[in-house]
Homo-oligomer: A and B are copies of this chain.
Amino acid sequence: MNLITLKSPYLIFLGDVTELTYAKTGAGLAQWRPELCAGQLTLAGGSVDLGLPPMTIEEAANAGVGSLIIGTATVGGVVPTSWLDTLVQAAEAGLDIVSGAHGRLQEIPHLAAAAKRSGAKLVDVRVPPAALPVGSGKRRTGKRLLTVGTDCAVGKKYTALALHAAMKQRGMDADFRASGQTGIMISGRGIPMDSVVSDFLSGAAELLSPENTPEHWDVIEGQGAITHPAYGAVSMGLLMGSQPDAFVVCHEAGRTHIAGWPEVPLAGIAQIIQRIVSIGELTNPGIRCVGVSVNTSGLRSAEREEYLRQLERELRLPCVDPLVDGVEPILEQLTAEVAPAAEMA
């Protein structure tokens, strides 16, 4: 399969950062895939602690760690020189190096040379795999759920991860399918859809959730928003190629305009549902919305409940804040509507 694929287990490299907000990728890994995180490595001056066992490069190599994952954001997307010795040491010890930064690892000469000597891979998760196919539009067996958004950064990845976790807990056969860099690091595989050449967008999406057994669910991380003035085409290619049976709309309560586009008002959730169905029907006539996932952190707790209940009355769909309520009501709707219990035995 033509996906970016990471070698586990992981050593999470935290550099010398001192604030957790800069270590979002590492924190996401520790939260969602603790079983794959063998340890964390912090440089002198760094103070972020993900609660993983501290581990040197040597210890990691001896413990059979597969990849060092750069778990922190870098200023300007460039790997700081103060990190370089450690990364070179890891590559020399045979650990793959995984980065989500804009600058390419292969373009750091010392690192490229070390990786060449040891056979370690330098993996830039922003770079899509080569030789992606053109979309076929053919129906694939297996079931698919896609998270979509009213905007960027409204919880599409979080909601997909939470739904996947809840499915696994119920004993359902399910995979999380990552379409963006952080998701790829958490999942260990995926395709960064926003970096794919346009002609191959839906082909890449088809590859991301391949044919599977009839009861299997792919929970696909959405990108952008179908109404987004810059990224709408990415959302559309992912939607058409994913041919989802079900989708969940993600939203942030109180957001009125596209973030960063102050002159573009946000489309309403009902309008998003209608658009997604209208486009999604092209590759899956059975597509339906099974719930809404809202980040309500901007509301006072007194307003929160009323906001979600009002939304439920309006849309006749389960509406939850996944951090507060979990995603069980959405999963109930899903199993009732798309995958009756009998089918999931």
Chain A interface residues toward B at CB < 8 A = 134-138, 193-199, 201-203, 227, 229-234, 236-237, 240, 258, 261, 263-264, 275, 278-279, 282-283
Instruction: Determine whether the beta carbon of B137 is less than 8 Å from that of A263.
Output: yes
For A231, list chain B residues within 8 Å (CB): 135, 199, 202
Contact A234 B198 (CB under 8 A): yes
Is the pair B230, A135 in contact by a Cβ cutoff of 8 Å?
Answer: yes
- Indicate if the CB atoms of B234 and A199 lie closer than 8 Å: yes
Smallest distance from the beta carbon of A281 to chain B beta carbons, Å?
10
By beta carbon, the residue of chain B nearest A199 is B194
Query: Inside 8 A of A278's CB, which chain B residues have their CB?
Result: 275, 278
Known A137-B261, A197-B195: A203·B232 in contact at CB below 8 Å: no
Q: Which residues of chain B are near A138, meaning CB under 8 Å?
A: 263
CB distance from A67 to the nearest CB of B (A): 26
**Are A233 and B202 touching (Cβ within 8 A)?**
yes
Question: Whole-angstrom distance from the CB of A88 to the nearest CB of chain B?
Answer: 30
Chain B residues positioned under 8 Å from A264 (CB to CB): 137
A251 to chain B, nearest CB (A): 18
Measured in the bound complex, the distance between the Cα atoms of B237 and A194 in whole Å is: 12
User: Are B135 and A198 interface neighbours, CB within 8 A?
Assistant: no
Interchain CB contact under 8 A, B194 and A198: yes
30 A–B contacts from the bound complex (CB under 8 Å) = A134-B230, A135-B229, A135-B231, A136-B230, A136-B261, A137-B229, A137-B230, A137-B258, A138-B263, A194-B197, A194-B198, A195-B198, A195-B199, A197-B197, A197-B198, A198-B233, A198-B234, A199-B230, A201-B233, A202-B229, A202-B232, A227-B282, A229-B240, A229-B282, A232-B237, A232-B282, A233-B233, A233-B237, A233-B240, A275-B278
Residues of B within 8 A of A203 (CB): 230
* Cβ distance A91 to chain B, nearest Cβ, rounded Å: 28
Nearest CB on B from A232, distance (A):
5
Q: For residue A235, give the distance in angstroms from its CB to the closest CB of chain B.
A: 9
B-side contacts of A283, CB under 8 Å: 229
CB distance from A262 to the nearest CB of B (A): 11
